[in-house]
Structure 1
Amino acid sequence: MAELVFFSGTMDSGKSTLALQVDHNHRARGRRGLLFTRDDRAGADVISSRLGLERPAHEVTEGTDFERVVAVAARDGGPIDYLVCDEAQFYAPAQVEQLARVVDELGVDVYAFGITSDFMTRLFPGSARLVELADRVQVLQVEALCWCGARATHNARTVDGTMVVEGAQVVVGDVAADAGEVGYEVLCRRHHMRRETAAAHRAVIDLGREAAVH
């Protein structure tokens, strides 16, 4: 039977890499699938991995109707066996419900990949609906690490290395942002609650060394 599977993890835990691997494995077995993403850091219409892998994908917008897209693709090219849906945290709850119907009514496997919570530790609406509806929720086995070496469990938004806790829920950025840009850093809960990023920690260390010299 077809199923809806939600693969979740923090930023930098290999979600997009796994999404591309899942697609490769299914295509290698002769299955026909469709790839979707929204607001990928590399731009529109692509799933990109930090390892340098990329695949063209359908860009999800507010108006995307997954049931209709699958029906049209099946009409034009033959049955669809699976969907790979990256950056699923950005999908609307109603679109997640569409994905569930694609599984139940059309018999198509859906593999969704996304971050569970935002930089304020609040669930993304799309992720919350996936947790509620998925046949399986799998936490990625590759653990992202906080600067302290502990398992990273939270996503922090930064500007010039300084953690911010207010702003729009969705702002596209990366863990390797340039100075002055909105960036993200994965932290353990302790350092997220302390608002202590790697840059903030280095600043404290440097200040201590400077005080010791004087």
Structure 2
Amino acid sequence: MPELVFFSGTMDCGKSTLALQIEHNRSARGLEGLIFTRDDRAGEGKLSSRLGLVTKATEAGPGFDFYAHLVGHLSAGGRADYVIADEAQFLEPGQIDQLARIVDDLGLDVFAFGITTDFRTKLFPGSQRLVELADRVEVLQVEALCWCGARATHNARTVGGRMVVEGAQVVVGDVNRPEDEVGYEVLCRRHHRRRMTAAAARAAALSPDVLPVDTADDGCG
């Protein structure tokens, strides 16, 4: 039976790499898929991995209708055996419903890849709808690590190197360049709560006047 599968995890845990691997494995066996993405770090109309792999994709911006696109593609004589949707957290809830309809009405597997929560630890609307509708939710097993070495479970946004917890939900940046004006970093829950990024930890370690943790919010009562 065809399925809607949601592969989720933090930033830097290999979601796009897995999407590219699924595409490679299926295309190597003669299957043809349609690939969609939204706001990829490599630019419009591309699905890219931090390992340097890139493939062409259809940009699914606001208002894009996945179901109508598939019907039009098939009606024009095109072939589609499966669908891949990367950066699915950025999609609108209605677009997730369209992906589910592709599975149910057109009989195609849909593989969606995305981050579950934003830098404020709030669910992305697209990810929330995927959790509600997906036949399976798969948490990726490649663990991203916090600077302390613990498993990273939260995404942090930095502005000028400092962690922020307010602002627009979607601002495109790179987890590998947190020193940029807008960057991202993955942290364990403890250090996300304390707003302790790698840069903040280094600064605290070098300063005799700054403690390495925020004792006012250490959860110890």
TM-score by length of 2: 0.92
- Is the partner of 1:73 in helix, strand or coil? helix
Counterpart CA distance in 2 for 1:71 and 1:124 is: 27
**How many angstroms does 1:68 deviate by?**
1.0
Per-residue CA deviations over 1:28-51 (Å, capped at 9, x if unaligned) read 111111000000011100001000
What does 1:1-214 align with in structure 2 at a 5 Å threshold? Answer: 1-177=1-177, 179-208=179-208
Counterpart CA distance in 2 for 1:176 and 1:96 is: 28
- Structure 1: which amino acid aligns with 2:157? R
Per-residue CA deviations over 1:87-129 (Å, capped at 9, x if unaligned) read 0000000000000000000001000000000000000000000
- Structure 2: which amino acid aligns with 1:34? L
**How many angstroms does 1:178 deviate by?**
6.4
- Structure 2: which amino acid aligns with 1:75? S
**How many angstroms does 1:78 deviate by?**
3.2
Counterpart CA distance in 2 for 1:199 and 1:142 is: 24
Partner of 2:214: none
- Structure 2: which amino acid aligns with 1:155? N
Counterpart CA distance in 2 for 1:31 and 1:204 is: 53
Counterpart CA distance in 1 for 2:61 and 2:182 is: 22
Partner of 2:215: none
Q: Which ranges of structure 1 fall in alignment gaps of 5 or more residues? A: none
- Is the partner of 2:171 in helix, strand or coil? coil
**How many angstroms does 1:195 deviate by?**
0.5
- Structure 2: which amino acid aligns with 1:33? G
Per-residue CA deviations over 1:45-77 (Å, capped at 9, x if unaligned) read 000100000000000111211111111221234
**How many angstroms does 1:176 deviate by?**
2.2
- Give 1 or 2: higher helix fraction: 1
Aligned length: 210
CA RMSD of aligned residues (A): 1.4
- Is the partner of 2:76 in helix, strand or coil? helix
- Is the partner of 1:208 in helix, strand or coil? coil
Counterpart CA distance in 2 for 1:142 and 1:173 is: 21
Counterpart CA distance in 1 for 2:144 and 2:37 is: 22
Q: Which ranges of structure 2 fall in alignment gaps of 5 or more residues? A: 211-221
**How many angstroms does 1:207 deviate by?**
0.7
State percent identity of aligned pairs. 68
- Structure 2: which amino acid aligns with 1:37? T
2:161, 2:181 within 8 Å by CA — same for their partners in 1? no
TM-score by length of 1: 0.95
Counterpart CA distance in 1 for 2:179 and 2:115 is: 24
Q: Measured at CA, do residues 178 and 147 of structure 1 come closer, stay the same or move farther in structure 2, by a change above 3 Å?
A: closer
